[in-house]
Amino acid sequence: MVSVDHEIRDGLIDAFNAHDSARAANLFAPRGAYVCPGGLAEGPEQIASYFALYFTAFPDVIVTPHTKDTCGDLVVIEWTVTSTHTGPFLLHTGEVLEGSGRRVAVRGCDVRTMENGLIASLRVYYDQLEMLTQLGVVAHL
């Protein structure tokens, strides 16, 4: 059975909460993938760029983990993300939503596959409708 390094497991949340996109991306394998409702980023460079865009739209974003479960090379973390939308955010329609000043609090989870001590893939799941409603976008759908 593969043992997951808890510093790597928890390090991503620490780097994300520090808004350090480069440090977060360096926890991924060279061919690592980050998949979320907003899209796909492959490799540390794309992943760092994706995180940087998120930090621009939500500069005070914080992830609060609730549960962390590990089974072999699989890690599942349930969390809540909270933030204020103050910068441009790319919507699923391709439109950019300028900063609204609205607070968001969204529950979700991520599922990670680890490989050689790094994140090989990270898949993020959250209720997109919940987030879009809090951003005031639902009226425009």
> Which pair of tokens denotes residue 68?
């962390």
Asked if residue 85 lies in contact with residue 101, where contact means CB atoms within 8 angstroms, the answer is yes
Answer yes or no: is 40 within a domain.
yes
**In this structure, are residues 102 and 139 in contact, taking their beta carbons and an 8 Å threshold?**
no
| Domain annotation covers residue 10 | yes
| Domain contains 1 | no
Nearest to 96 by CA among 53, 55, 37, 61: 53
SS3 of the chain: helix, strand, coil, percent, to 5: 30, 45, 30
In a domain, residue 82? The reply is yes
User: Does the CA dihedral 56-23-117-107 come out positive or negative?
Assistant: negative
Within-domain flag for 117: yes
Residue 95 within any structural domain of the chain: yes
Q: Which residues are paired to 76 by β-bridges?
A: 69, 111
In a domain, 53, yes or no: yes
Inform me whether the pLDDT recorded for 1 exceeds 50: no
pLDDT at 92 exceeding the cut of 80: no
Q: How many domains does the chain have?
A: 1
pLDDT-derived band at 93 (thresholds 50, 70, 90) equals: confident
Residue 90 pLDDT greater than 60, yes or no: yes
pTM exceeds 0.85, yes or no: yes
Classify 37 as helix, strand or coil.
Answer: coil
Q: SS3 for 19? A: coil
Mean pLDDT value of segment 38-47: 92
Domain region containing 92: 6-140
